[in-house]
Structure 1
Amino acid sequence: MAARAGIVVTGTEVLTGRVVDRNGPWLAERLREAGVDVGRTVVVGDRREDLAAALRFQLTDHDLVLTTGGLGPTADDLTAEVVAEVQGRPSAVDADLEARITAIVERLYRQRGWQVDDDVVRRGVRKQALVPEGAVTLGPVGTAPGLVVPGPGAPVVVLPGPPSELQGMWDEALASDPVRAALAGAATLLQSTVRIWGPPEARLVGVLDAHEAAVGPLEDAGLEITTCVRDGELEIVTRYAPEAAPAYDGLVAALHADFGDLLYADDGRTVDDVVADLLLARDGTIATAESCTAGLLAGRLADRPGSSSYLLGGFVTYANEAKTAEVGVPADLIASVGAVSREVAEAMASGARARLGTTVGVGITGVAGPGGGTPDKPVGLVHVAVDVDGVLTHRELRLGGDRALIRRRTVVAALHLVRQALGGA
């Protein structure tokens, strides 16, 4: 049976949505790789009683609990103190740790030219150097050390909030004796992802129902399936033990049989990965010309490491004059058919490709709203065109939602059009 872990994400800024939680998903994936099943992730603010309640809740039915955040020098950083109380372990200042943190803080202050009252700094350092009895210290990577605090029951791994610091001490946390003991004998847990572009979620429901009617309940076969719709894509994530691999292979075969070319990846790759692989396989290069998305497609292409091998550049041609000046869209074409049109999108794609000498050009023009729509060209109308070595492919989109959603969905649709134009399934 897989070991179970619970995660407690702390911070009022995360609870209220001012800061997006990056640590919980990252930890969940690292735990899954280690064969650990994540039972729950709980987000709490910087209130002592809420944090204590969340910890006790997670400790009731998990082999390991992890916390993120709340390890700084200020009064609202309560995590280490509350974990010590919940685990029943008094804390004391670790003199060696205090000296290490002091050296880090002094170096940081010198580098940044900060002038702060020395007594205030000492109190903050001393707070961060408090270690519960029997705990293992981790790092520090920044100024805050992490902790592994033993039970009586499950140990609690206390990690800092900044993602770079948390990630920097993860291997050390996993190798600590309390964590190794808690996870001893954990079963291997595999996770696989299938991605499908285009069809409604209801069709997937029908396929899964038909497959279960033929082979029996997938849960009984050891498959835990979760599905979601993300910007027009269907994502099917399945977790299973190695012995359930034949059942999973049968599920994937059924998905391929029904969805055909709409199933574009059964190996966990995203559309970004597939497009990159297709470009690299043909030594291809790509350029973009974007109006309503204003560089979002180029930015997404650039997000992937190694994108400099194929992304040569992009043009943000929001104004009609920019479409003409930057990528050579004829002014009389815009005057005759309008900026939001198939013809202009195709001219933008070909113009971007010609300007930068790439094998692929992409043109995007549309009405993202909330204003600017007309009865003939309403908000959500977008034209996307792809030029591959002079061969044009076009798609007209009719998208709903607010401005941000329309722009994001347009980028995803553009990536899939590039994928298809390059011969991807």
Structure 2
Amino acid sequence: MGTRAGIVVTGTEVLTGRIADRNGPWLADRLLELGIELAHITICGDRPEDIAAALRFQADAGVDVILTTGGLGPTADDMTVAVVAEFSGRELVLDVELEHRIAAILRRLMERYPGADFDAVMAANRKQALVPAGATVLEPVGTAPGVVVAGAPTVVVLPGPPRELQAMWPAALATHTVQQAIAARTQYRQETLRMFGVPESELADTLRLAESRVPGFDRLEITTCLRRGELEIVTRYEPAAEPSYRALTEVLSEHHRRELYSTDGATVDDQVAALLAGRRVATAESCTAGLVAARLTDRPGSSAYVTGGAVVYSNEAKSAVLGVDPALIAEHGAVSEPVAEAMAAGALRRFDADTAVAITGIAGPGGGTDEKPVGTVCFSVQRTDGATRTEMLLLPGGRADIRERSSTVAMHLLRSVLLET
């Protein structure tokens, strides 16, 4: 039968985008680990009628557990507990022992502020000791306690600050009430495939073919996502459906053998980092403004293989920093394959590397020509032993899209050169 859950994220600051929601995705991962199906994540402002509507929506969707985040502070707009009490048909009562524990926390905190009015602060925080009658109290991590309210559905009320929520989660999960509510949970496996160089429409055609060829295809929950110019295919399934998943990967491998570069979830960044072991790599970038260098160094131990990088926009900088011949730029243009090759060669010399990746392009919004429109990008990857890949591509999108896609293309070209023996 399984267990279904819903998440209600409260907070006008989250609803309006001033603060990004980190709690919903984090809780979604925890639910997946537990074998609980997440039905919905809803975000609502700090208005009691909207919080109540979000709770009713989740309940009407048939979830077994609702997790709420935020709205547990002492200010007037923190009203999640009161709304949950009304939703659950329970009276809101003062937990005197909890009030004393909150007071002790506040006294410790106020030692930093000599002369502060403790009584005034405590009066503002007293509302945090009001809980639905019969609820299980989750001890505060900051000053705000959480609560678990049994029912159909059970409601778990968690704080908004991610640090507090994450620290409180194990205690919430360990309560008898939550364990009862999720008793029917199952087990899920989640696998990730990654492709590069195949359009979504072509992948969609292959998935339709797989649907007709793979027994038990309907037991696979497949999500495809375009990320950094790659296709990420995430499949969730119960253990009994593993043969169906293996058959799916066979179909995808058969039809996209060149484009399917990762079957274990490893990113191209992960693979390049492993291939660079024992090597020294340098970067020379124009339109990508250091994005490739950032991807190469965004992991522990990267200093062992990244020797340096240069971001060079002007022709003068390309010549002064990387030794690119001005005559070469004048003849072919700054955005050209010969200049990309010269930039890579210059990075090899300048940073004493054995591998270099160079990018020069036109990311926009202006600056393109009929011959070289916005999105024209040239790449060159070189090794001192002679292995080289140089390409010119026309990439779609605005400035941010072109830069992001260019960094991904560069990582894949680097990967291909590193794989050469």
Q: Does 1:301 align with 2:296?
A: yes
Measured after TM superposition, the shift of residue 186 of structure 1 is 1.4
Bigger mean CA offset, 116-125 vs 85-94: 116-125
Gaps (5+ residues) in structure 1? none
Give the 3 Å change call, closer, same or farther, for CA 182–301 of structure 1 in structure 2.
Answer: farther
Distance (Å, rounded) in 2 between the aligned partners of 1:206 and 1:196: 15
Distance (Å, rounded) in 1 between the aligned partners of 2:103 and 2:303: 41
Letter in 1 for 2:412: H
Q: Does 1:256 align with 2:257?
A: no
Distance (Å, rounded) in 1 between the aligned partners of 2:105 and 2:353: 48
1:81-160 aligned within 5 A: 81-102=82-103, 104=105, 118=118, 121-151=121-151, 153-160=152-159
Aligned to 2:183: 184
Q: Does 1:335 align with 2:330?
A: yes
Partners of 1:368 and 1:380 within 8 A in 2? yes
Residue 356 of structure 2, aligned match among 357, 361, 364: 361
Distance (Å, rounded) in 1 between the aligned partners of 2:115 and 2:312: 46
SS of equivalent residue, structure 1 residue 383: strand
Aligned to 1:69: 70
SS of equivalent residue, structure 2 residue 365: coil
Residue 279 of structure 2, aligned match among 273, 278, 284: 284
Letter in 1 for 2:243: P
Distance (Å, rounded) in 2 between the aligned partners of 1:72 and 1:38: 27
Deviations 1:355-397 (A, max 9, x none): 3333432222212211222222221112222223453222323
Larger Rg: 2
Measured after TM superposition, the shift of residue 99 of structure 1 is 4.9
Q: Does 1:167 align with 2:166?
A: yes
Distance (Å, rounded) in 1 between the aligned partners of 2:308 and 2:14: 35
1:51-62 aligned within 5 A: 51-60=51-60, 61-62=62-63
Residue 377 of structure 1, aligned match among 372, 376, 394: 372
- Count how many residue pairs are aligned between Structure 1 and Structure 2: 418
Aligned to 1:227: 224
Partners of 1:272 and 1:304 within 8 A in 2? no
Gaps (5+ residues) in structure 2? none
Partners of 1:360 and 1:388 within 8 A in 2? yes
Partners of 1:139 and 1:146 within 8 A in 2? yes
Letter in 1 for 2:192: T
Partners of 2:146 and 2:156 within 8 A in 1? yes
SS of equivalent residue, structure 1 residue 88: coil
Deviations 1:15-40 (A, max 9, x none): 22333322222211211111111111
Partners of 1:2 and 1:189 within 8 A in 2? no
Distance (Å, rounded) in 1 between the aligned partners of 2:160 and 2:278: 41
Distance (Å, rounded) in 2 between the aligned partners of 1:53 and 1:159: 18
Distance (Å, rounded) in 1 between the aligned partners of 2:300 and 2:127: 39
Give the 3 Å change call, closer, same or farther, for CA 121–311 of structure 1 in structure 2.
Answer: farther
1:209-224 aligned within 5 A: 209-216=208-215, 218-219=217-218, 222-224=219-221
Measured after TM superposition, the shift of residue 119 of structure 1 is 5.4
Q: Does 1:273 align with 2:273?
A: no
Distance (Å, rounded) in 1 between the aligned partners of 2:350 and 2:108: 49
Distance (Å, rounded) in 2 between the aligned partners of 1:101 and 1:286: 55
Give the 3 Å change call, closer, same or farther, for CA 138–341 of structure 1 in structure 2.
Answer: farther
Aligned to 2:29: 29
Deviations 1:206-263 (A, max 9, x none): 22222333345610xx212222322332222211111111111111111111111310
Measured after TM superposition, the shift of residue 54 of structure 1 is 0.6
Measured after TM superposition, the shift of residue 181 of structure 1 is 1.2
Deviations 1:62-99 (A, max 9, x none): 11111122223322222222222212233344455445
Distance (Å, rounded) in 1 between the aligned partners of 2:324 and 2:240: 58
Partners of 2:375 and 2:395 within 8 A in 1? yes
SS of equivalent residue, structure 2 residue 71: coil
Aligned to 1:325: 320
CA-based RMSD: 2.6
Aligned to 2:195: 196
Distance (Å, rounded) in 1 between the aligned partners of 2:274 and 2:325: 34
Aligned to 1:403: 399
Q: TM-score, normalised by structure 1?
A: 0.89
Bigger mean CA offset, 1-10 vs 318-327: 318-327
Q: Does 1:11 align with 2:7?
A: no
Bigger mean CA offset, 299-308 vs 398-407: 299-308
Q: Does 1:420 align with 2:416?
A: yes
Distance (Å, rounded) in 2 between the aligned partners of 1:107 and 1:377: 65
Distance (Å, rounded) in 2 between the aligned partners of 1:327 and 1:99: 67
Letter in 2 for 1:40: H
Letter in 1 for 2:177: P
Bigger mean CA offset, 124-133 vs 392-401: 124-133
Measured after TM superposition, the shift of residue 195 of structure 1 is 1.1
SS of equivalent residue, structure 2 residue 401: helix
Measured after TM superposition, the shift of residue 410 of structure 1 is 1.6
Deviations 1:280-333 (A, max 9, x none): xx3334332222221222223333445444444432223333333333333333
Give the 3 Å change call, closer, same or farther, for CA 102–298 of structure 1 in structure 2.
Answer: farther
* Identity within the alignment, %: 56
Bigger mean CA offset, 96-105 vs 357-366: 96-105
Distance (Å, rounded) in 2 between the aligned partners of 1:387 and 1:120: 68
SS of equivalent residue, structure 1 residue 236: strand
Partners of 2:216 and 2:244 within 8 A in 1? no
SS of equivalent residue, structure 2 residue 142: coil
Give the 3 Å change call, closer, same or farther, for CA 297–129 of structure 1 in structure 2.
Answer: farther
